[in-house]
Structure 1
Amino acid sequence: MGDRTARAAGVAHRFRVAYGAPLWHLPLLAGCCTVAGWVALRLAGEATAGRMLGWFVAAVVVHDLVVFPIYAAADRALLAAASRIGRPAAGAVRLAAVNHIRVPALGSALLLLVYLPGILRLGGDTFTAATGLTQQPYLVRWLLITAAMFAVSGLWFAARLRRVRSPVRRPPPDRR
């Protein structure tokens, strides 16, 4: 049985080296392509398919040429600022601090992207006619959610930092 396990591990290793990713990646990628193909077939008969494709291509181009350089530069600035803070031996702590800033920033940016029309009060008449509500609270709520995400992340980081810096408590030796 051990020989079979070793042989299977060798095959899996050779596949990973040849394919460039773990074995589970291939069926996952095939499933994603299947779903994307199904969506494309469903949209092919729609009258607005060309317009949707245009928006999709524009979104990809705007992301790659405008948005990606902005957040890549912001991430590099964050990493540079973190590298100037603290001792060289605290590299893992600095990286954790950077990640505790990245995650709420990403959440905040995604919420801004989703709720930007409401925050900017675009289509206010249509929104009010459809819901009977105004778009006034969108900005305040987005700011409060952003503050809450950063606060929770900061508290979590402080708890992790305290746990790392606290001395390890070992039980007293058993004396019989």
Structure 2
Amino acid sequence: MTRIRYGAPIWQLPLLVACFTVTGWIVARLSGEATAVRMLTWFLAAVVAHDLVLYPLAATADRVLVTAAGIGGRLRPAVRRAVVNHVRVPALGAALLFLVYLPGILRLGGGAFTAATGLTQEPYLSRWLLVSSTMFAVSGLLLAARLTLRRTRRR
């Protein structure tokens, strides 16, 4: 009966109240900070960048991947899902690593980085490419092993 009135499982209400409480506490703690406006600006810019740029880009790339996996129609649906997922996971890992290390990869703020660490940002791009290609290679090997195992089990 409660679900009908509330519209969701009852455990979601206390969880939502707890989330709002923690958020309120964080806002209260940060409101006295001198950089609160700058943090809020960065947060709002990240929300806008994610919702208006990154999410549509990722959704479009995923739709292209799913469509490309379905072209030809020779793959069974289970194999097609496996292929798509073995591309999705390393692509997500590479994209997240790119976002985390974006300033280093694009060599932004090199002077401040060198002054703070005594190092250069030179290896970031090559290391990101190496880690990303390794993720795709491992995923491809796992897919090949899975498909080979599936083929031998059917025989």
The CA deviation at 1:168 is: 5.3
| Alignment match, 2:131 | 145
1:69 to 42, 49, 56: 56
Secondary structure at the aligned position of 2:153 is classed as: coil
| Alignment match, 1:42 | 29
Deviations 1:61-101 (CA, angstroms, capped at 9, x unpaired): 1221122211111111001001114436x101101111111
Secondary structure at the aligned position of 1:134 is classed as: coil
Aligned amino acid, residue 102 of structure 2: L
Alpha-carbon RMSD: 2.5
Alpha-carbon distance in 2 for matches of 1:26, 1:100:
37
The CA deviation at 1:104 is: 0.7
1:5-16 alignment to 2 at 5 Å?
15=3
Aligned amino acid, residue 78 of structure 1: L
| Alignment match, 2:65 | 78
Q: Normalized against structure 2, the TM-score is what?
A: 0.85
1:130 to 116, 121, 137: 116
From the CA coordinates, give the structure whose radius of gyration is larger.
1
Tell me whether 1:167 sits opposite 2:150 in the alignment.
no
Aligned amino acid, residue 122 of structure 1: L
More contact order relative to length (CA 8 Å, sep ≥ 6): 2
Q: What is the identity percentage for the equivalent residue pairs of Structure 1 and Structure 2? A: 64
Unaligned runs of 5+ in 2: none
| Alignment match, 1:87 | 74
Return closer, same or farther for 1:29/1:92 CA change in 2, 3 Å cut-off. Answer: farther
| Alignment match, 1:103 | 89
Unaligned runs of 5+ in 1: 1-10, 170-176
Alpha-carbon distance in 1 for matches of 2:34, 2:123:
36
Aligned amino acid, residue 166 of structure 1: T
- Total equivalences in the alignment: 155
Aligned amino acid, residue 68 of structure 2: A
2:104 to 106, 118, 122: 118
